[in-house]
A and B are shown apart, each in its own frame.
Chain A
């Protein structure tokens, strides 16, 4: 089999890559009663899909090795079909045509998604065993994988958007997976509104992206990436080298989509709540794939982002990185730490793009996918092994009991902390290098870059710190899971928390519907304990009543201090998945499939594969990242050298500092953390309460929305409908008036005529006396009168 790209075969294979999970979904949904091993079938399908992505990815590497540009659009080969089209006065290309784009970035993402998804499938077989709606779970993650793979392969922005939103819908369903499961009382309620919150928050970002699509469609009448890049370049050239205002706005709107999907400040609020979903979901969606889609979008749309937009991107990214990192240091829930870590790392990626290091950002995206997925799955393994305890304060000393999990988690923590030789070091280093490059070069120096660099370095330090804090708390020391109930409560009380933590996961619903209010402190205190008291010595399956000590989530906890559950290692199917990802977490940074010298010189494989040239083609690359010529070459190389050294130095320092601090506080002097917390006082509380962002959102956006709703509803019922009812009652009034008029006047006139004839009749009747002599007298009188008249006249 040759490693050259053959359009006829390979596009078909590329269709099969998302096609297999889709087929799996359809089979599982419609035939699940006939498929007792549907989960294994879907996992096998995913395995095949993954192998395809690796094979196709190998072709990309081969091309890079051979120095050729690897960029394949199916539309260019005539393999596309029209989807939305209308004949008309707009140019023919202004139709939405479906085609596939396969380039190095796509190849890398495809492989990453394929591997992570396969590992998650494998892991879920063990983790989700025995839960309610188990087959549906597999169907949903397969469909999600289909959506993500489709997004990577999309060659135009609208199709990308379609898959983007489809992923959002699947995320909604997957986060809400436990909301159907009353045997998980804690998640049961949390997941219902967490899924809604995730969908709505990302939808705000999606709508911004949608607006960006409108603007681009209106001006360019095409949404294909290659054409967008070319059109942007021409527009800027025609505008004298400046980006026109509307293009800047379009870029900002596109970035808005990233802010939503990749959980940047201020739309990050959904990601910590997304932890209400099962851990494999968190691993796949909220670590590796969906949130990476936002960064991927930036990668695809990079040539359209003007310098102003990039500055905004940098600020958002760097701020998010630091913001989330600070919160991560205070969390006690295993998954919460990882969630904030994800937000922080996404901030790194976004900031990288903003600082001009598109490739660095993409690289970090791929390494992050591996090690974060592994971290989440390891966390899942820990949670599973500890019988669904999530609070780190109830863990400890697990490294002997769960060695494989410990190993995987440790290597991935080393990766995320940026320790050399692990993949994360390379990617993070590249990002910081991009920052130093911008700061070090007079031409590109600006205040935002300095700000970003400082934020990123601090964030890196904090990352190392809190990740090792996590490792030390969970795996070292003594096992605290047997903590007596009152001691645990005392521990909480010492922190100033009474009972369940009424913190940020407040309900954002209509205030009157307090039935679901998150502020129900009482209900979960001891009553909850009684509810779950009976589950004592069950086998460690999630189907048994769960004890969830996710104290951060404020809905109370059920304490099981006095039942001694021994934590244990997870079953093989889970550990294998962990091992695969762990391996990649370590070595994902430096595959040496390219020329040996590249590997030995320390340059990671990604850079050999993905560069501005390979992504956007020579003309665009020349525009966005012009190669220096002449004397500038040496200067440029020198700058790079300097930046590289500074970056390595900075990375090592911050990582070392962070690890040292974590070791010091959590191994050496375990009494210090409490004293530090006490010392920091209110500042600590603010961070612990996530800077009250959720409360702020609740008080402003949510309340404003409800006010608007109530105003409009009242307007509708009283004013608009009131007008209609007024018209109705006016008509009735008019009707009554007309009836009155009719009765009195018209009918009255008729009656008056009748009365008149009656009156006259009565008058004339008086003549009729019946007396003949009177009649005779009248006759004679009349005759006389007549005669007189005749004679005289």
Chain B
């Protein structure tokens, strides 16, 4: 039973979705209950997996199940989890579980909404556990469609534009990925020692032994003048980079976030963006290590540009949610910088940053949601003095903001510090300068967050908001787990690093070797 736990975690929401589809449309309470159960069970399972079942000292894949699926192309149902994906799986289940009560404010077509939410969870979890590239791609696409509808139907005034922009942009990246995947498959299929040509671990192994070089492709492996490894790297990278998102592929994010309803923004920022980073770690860099080494510095530069540029643009925003969206762009730059540096500390920092950004941005978007639900606008200059009327809200927001700006003692600092320390000590040249530049981002991040705090909470109370109710139990309940994680992981980071250590070491050794 427990060997199938990954499949349970992935597909229970699907069962829940099917159940919801049978619920009469008017019975919203039942739909909500089913949704909570269907997201709660995976959370419990994931927690049990994390604390009870997972072996921390084994850096390889655990809980592996491998079944032949599509014989014609030799695709498999191949799932497994290691120290890199396990925290993200757990975070997914938590985010989706909290997403349900956070969505209690949705007023139309709730049945469809919860059904789509559950389908989304299936897609996301599926990506994290897939070890077969075809399966990976299927889940990757599964995750796109519910998002499109969730933004496009339940979103704000420009929701169709935002939804289609998100969908097409990500899809364009996915198509590039597909080209690369097909090329890899063909090449792998021609190597005799390969048992399952879509299998990602085998691709990594083949790449390491130098056999995966595109020579079996009909056109000889070169495309657009680039060598096989190079173009596969760039195609995969761009596909994942759009998701992360990194500058310059980030412009879908502000629109998507602004127009999406609050719980969808939380999920989008909390875990969807991590798919890009995770994809790079799992399915891009190890498969084309020479290209990675060749372009590591470029990746570092892109990361730093994201950090600094994202922070600066965030400072110029007047829409609260847009500001938080750009802060996401900025924070995800650390992930790329940490990965590009190729040190244990850098990679650990990047992996931690993915998790910690998930929690802190969840808090930030929930924070925006609280005030948007009351005021129905997000104009930073339109608020003022809210701390006098909603002290609990202010206190929780302060904690969230400090977590986002990387205050030591909170989780964001640990990941940022490890990333920057790891990047600084990188053996690859030129990273020291990159780290020095990214320090500017730290100051500007503090600037825009405190500036927002000042405009919204401090100063003179705008009389329009004098009667606002402080946070309800539901709102506190939604924010509480993430705030708790921000604090707990800042003080006890080993609750993540202990689980990640072995896998990260394995990854770094693979990449370096």
Contact = CB atoms under 8 A, between A and B. Distances in A.
Contact of A217 (B421, B443, B459, B501): B421
A767 B176 CA distance: 62
B493 interface: yes
A745 interface: no
A182 B421 contact: no
B467 interface: no
A531 interface: no
Contacts of B183: none
Interface in B367-422: 381, 385, 387-388, 391, 394, 398, 402, 407-409, 413-414, 417-418, 420-421
Residue picked from B348, B436, B447, B461, most chain A C-beta under 10 Å: B447
B47 interface: no
Given A87-B502, A705-B444, A713-B316, 7 more contacts: A85-B501, A86-B497, A179-B459, A207-B443, A214-B435, A513-B381, A712-B312
What 8 A-B pairs are tightest by C-beta distance, nearest first?
Answer: A162-B408, A713-B316, A88-B344, A192-B458, A721-B251, A214-B424, A709-B316, A179-B458
B493 A180 contact: no
B504 interface: yes
B459 A207 contact: no
A541 to B, nearest CB: 19
A161 interface: yes
Contacts of A84: 414, 417-418, 493-494, 497
A90 B344 contact: yes
B436 A165 contact: no
B425 A217 contact: yes
B23 interface: no
Interface string B495-509: 001000110110010
Given A218-B425, A721-B251, A713 B313 contact: yes
B251 A210 contact: no
B79 interface: no
Interface in A196-254: 196, 199-200, 203-204, 207, 210-211, 213-215, 217-218, 221
A509 interface: yes
B388 A166 contact: no
A211 B251 CA distance: 31
Interface string B26-58: 000000000000000000000000000000000
B458 A213 contact: no
A578 to B, nearest CB: 31
Main secondary structure of the interface of B (DSSP, over half): helix
Interface string A713-725: 1001000110110
A188 interface: yes
A761 interface: no
Contacts of B435: 211, 214
A193 interface: yes
B459 A200 contact: no
B251 A720 contact: yes
A87 B420 contact: no
A213 B385 CA distance: 38
A87 B169 CA distance: 39
Interface of A: 82-90, 133, 158, 161-166, 169, 172-173, 176, 179-182, 188-189, 191-193, 195-196, 199-200, 203-204, 207, 210-211, 213-215, 217-218, 221, 509, 513, 515-516, 705, 708-710, 712-713, 716, 720-721, 723-724, 728
Contact of A705 (B317, B447, B497): B447
B446 A203 contact: yes
Contact of A180 (B387, B414, B494, B504): B387
Interface in B241-266: 247-248, 250-252
B451 interface: yes
A235 B502 CA distance: 33
Nearest to B414: A84
A86 B500 CA distance: 9
20 contacts: A84-B494, A87-B502, A88-B508, A166-B409, A188-B460, A192-B459, A200-B446, A210-B417, A210-B420, A210-B439, A211-B435, A215-B424, A217-B424, A218-B421, A709-B312, A712-B312, A713-B312, A720-B248, A724-B252, A728-B168
A708 B314 CA distance: 12
B60 to A, nearest CB: 15
B446 to A, nearest CB: 5
A165 B413 contact: yes
Residue picked from B417, B502, B505, most chain A C-beta under 10 Å: B417
Nearest to A176: B458
A195 B450 CA distance: 9
A120 B161 CA distance: 57
B460 A211 contact: no
A722 to B, nearest CB: 9
A164 B165 CA distance: 44
Contacts of A200: 443, 446-447, 450
B285 interface: no
B92 to A, nearest CB: 24
Contact of A203 (B388, B443, B504): B443
Nearest to B440: A207
Given A82-B494, A83-B494, A705-B447, A724 B165 contact: yes
A200 B450 CA distance: 9
Contacts of B439: 207, 210-211
A83 B417 CA distance: 13
Contacts of A214: 420-421, 424-425, 432, 435
A712 to B, nearest CB: 5
A88 B505 contact: yes
Given A182-B385, A189-B459, A207-B439, A85 B497 contact: yes
A86 B504 contact: yes
Interface in B458-474: 458-461
B501 A86 contact: yes
Contacts of B508: 88
A615 B421 CA distance: 28
Contact of B454 (A166, A193, A203): A193
B413 A162 contact: yes
A458 B407 CA distance: 40
A155 to B, nearest CB: 16
B315 interface: yes
A520 to B, nearest CB: 12
A161 B409 CA distance: 10
Contacts of A218: 421, 424-425, 432
Interface in B429-455: 432, 435-436, 439-440, 442-444, 446-447, 450-451, 453-455
